[in-house]
Structure 1
Amino acid sequence: MANKYPKKLNERIYLIDGFDMGESERTGTYVIDEQELTIIETGPSPSVKHVKSGMESLGFSLDQVKYIIVTHIHLDHAGGAGLLLKDCPNARVVVHPKGIRHLAEPERLIAGAKAVYGNKFKELFDPIIPIPHERMIIKNDGDLLKIGATCILKFFDTPGHANHHFSIYDPISNGMFTGDTVGVRYEQLIPDGVTFFLPSTSPNQFNPAAMQRAIDHFAQMNLQYIYYGHFGVTNSPSEALSQVSMWLNIFMTEAEAVYEEAKGYCELANRLDRLVKEHLKNQGISENHDVFRIIELDLEVSAMGMMDYLVNKEKR
């Protein structure tokens, strides 16, 4: 499986597997081959060695890199930005305005990740290297970034998964790099003929209404491609967005029921796990499929985010 990557997605865009959490096809880094060589997502620091070797096998040197764009500053997407930047002397990191402070001073980000991942933090995310302000660029909603003679990327503020999240529109492929804001794609099911997408509702800034707005916005844009942080690309955006919208509604219905019953996120994760397994069983996927190692973790973290949202909603 490892030799599938780096993978050429089209004439200009490549996908490198970062082997996040030791899993193949979990978290990806995109390379846009334009005049201003651009990387989207670094993954966590342990993925940087895979990004560097992927760049080398594609024939790119790190001093060619001009922009490193992170959709948001969660450590599985941007945790390796500081480490990678050390070897990219001509690059700057492009970040959402609400994320810049955390990349410059990552202490709170580290504390938040430790609260979620506990003693796995070191193995999954170390080291987190601060990024100097002068090596960062902020992009607000509607801002542009010219990376080639005919390629001008456009940024969209897309909270829902996190308040510091933007998505990046590539006009040449009519594709959107969406990070986590409109869900996760499970590449592991593609060999079985199943395309499957779930929302990513992790703590602590999950907002279902904002997430649905992003889904609706992208649906109206008639995109040709969606490039996911987790993982890979779909050429059927309308189907992908429809699935995520459906599951977001199911997630919230179950979360509200669990909350009313005064039960915790483990109960919610278990209920969602049963629903997802039943859904995939109907499509011929065995409960012993390797994909469930990833799905179960995703559901656990998503359940935390939904219960956190409902607790905070009651406080407001």
Structure 2
Amino acid sequence: MEKRQPIDLGHGIQLIDGFDLGLENRTGTYVMQEEELTLIETSASPSVPHILAGLSALGLDPADVKYVIVTHIHLDHAGGAGLLLQEHCPQAKVVVHPKGARHLVDPSRLIMGARAVYGDKFDQFFEPIIPVPEQRVLIKGHEETLQIGPSRVLRFFDSPGHAYHHCSIYDPVSNGMFTGDTLGVQYSQLKADGVSLYLPSTSPNQFDPEAMLHSLAMVQEMQVERIFFGHFGMSTEVEEVYRQLTMWIPRFVQIAEAVAASGDLESSEVSRQLLAMVASYLKDQGIAADHPEFGILRSDLEICAMGLVDYLQKKQ
């Protein structure tokens, strides 16, 4: 197992790399070292050993974890919650959006949907998937709060667009928002080259561009100073996040609509055109086509294309 020291993000927040899909800087678990020790996001079950190693490096005992918050119940964000609770965090409750709770208790539909996307790689990426006992699920709806420390009260916001069952979590101490996938993906490997790239996550099967832009506007109105992504890490250039997402979301939809208008709406053609558009943008930023980040970009855009096709088919 690859090991990496947790990243100190300031304001009592640490980030543990979960090595989702076996990749560095792919997903992470945020740790809030408060009176009520709190984790945000778990990634899938294969990330649990990395979470445990990160907690150990911080001198923390997983048995002391009180809350495991998930922004939404897709397996790359919440798939490890059941395993953590069953084997390592006996005191913890999982905090989830009202529409996501039943899928933690009975993950059968989640499993079926993820198998359709990942095929024969599903077991490698996600197993084991363990149901969360209903009595250990804590539901938080729009603008409800959770106090985890004397001066730290987290506030939950309904934030659809990527999924109906998505919440974002506002932290007043950092003046930051944990946005899961609603505000897309930060491709942090490009930062070393001086390039910021934020792309929407339009994966199946609940992508809604209007809802995503509405959620973005809600976060923007709150004047946060930090955005904590599910994939991956923190950004303080919040206006650039808003600018890029506002630019990319309609462009993604337009490409899918153009492919549909040609009479053959295939996700492979949508992903090919998405990749060409993003590659052209990055070329203008001085990023060559053989940059290592293109490996994950290609994979992400294939899944984004599936979600765009699903969106247009439902719309029709």
Q: Same fold (TM over 0.5)?
A: yes
Match of 2:51 in 1: 51
1:98-149 Cα shifts (integer Å, max 9, x gaps): 1111111111110110001000000000000001110010000010000010
Alignment counterpart, residue 282 of structure 2, candidates 280, 283, 288: 280
1:257-286 Cα shifts (integer Å, max 9, x gaps): 111112211101000100101110111111
Match of 2:117 in 1: 116
1:24 maps to 2:24: yes
Do 2:11 and 2:173's aligned partners in 1 also have CA atoms closer than 8 Å? no
What is the 5 A alignment of 1:6-45? Answer: 6-45=6-45
Quick one: distance in 1 between partners of 2:116 and 2:222?
37
* Range with bigger deviation, 215-224 or 40-49: 215-224
Quick one: distance in 2 between partners of 1:218 and 1:231?
18
1:146 maps to 2:183: no
Alignment counterpart, residue 267 of structure 2, candidates 252, 265, 268: 265
Unaligned runs of 5+ in 2: none
Secondary structure of 1:89's aligned partner: coil
Unaligned runs of 5+ in 1: none
Quick one: distance in 1 between partners of 2:17 and 2:29?
7
Q: Percent identity?
A: 54
Give the deviation of 1:204 after TM superposition: 0.4
1:290-313 Cα shifts (integer Å, max 9, x gaps): 101111111110111011011001
Match of 2:103 in 1: 102
Do 2:64 and 2:91's aligned partners in 1 also have CA atoms closer than 8 Å? yes
Match of 1:219 in 2: 220
Quick one: distance in 1 between partners of 2:176 and 2:187?
18
Match of 1:131 in 2: 132
Quick one: distance in 2 between partners of 1:262 and 1:121?
31
Give the deviation of 1:52 after TM superposition: 0.5
Quick one: distance in 2 between partners of 1:148 and 1:204?
36
Match of 2:197 in 1: 196
1:289 maps to 2:291: yes
Q: Tell me the TM-score normalised to structure 2 length.
A: 0.98
Quick one: distance in 2 between partners of 1:3 and 1:118?
28
Do 2:20 and 2:44's aligned partners in 1 also have CA atoms closer than 8 Å? yes
1:169-205 Cα shifts (integer Å, max 9, x gaps): 0011000000000100001101111111000000001
Give the deviation of 1:4 after TM superposition: 5.4
Number of paired residues?
313
Quick one: distance in 1 between partners of 2:296 and 2:85?
29
Match of 1:311 in 2: 313
1:61 maps to amino acid: D
Superposition CA RMSD, Å:
0.9
Give the deviation of 1:289 after TM superposition: 0.7
Secondary structure of 1:147's aligned partner: strand
Quick one: distance in 1 between partners of 2:260 and 2:58?
49
Give the deviation of 1:221 after TM superposition: 1.3
Give the deviation of 1:3 after TM superposition: 6.3
Quick one: distance in 2 between partners of 1:60 and 1:198?
34
1:197-243 Cα shifts (integer Å, max 9, x gaps): 00000000110000000111111111100000000000111111111
1:47-84 Cα shifts (integer Å, max 9, x gaps): 00000100000111011110000000000000000001
Quick one: distance in 2 between partners of 1:159 and 1:290?
31
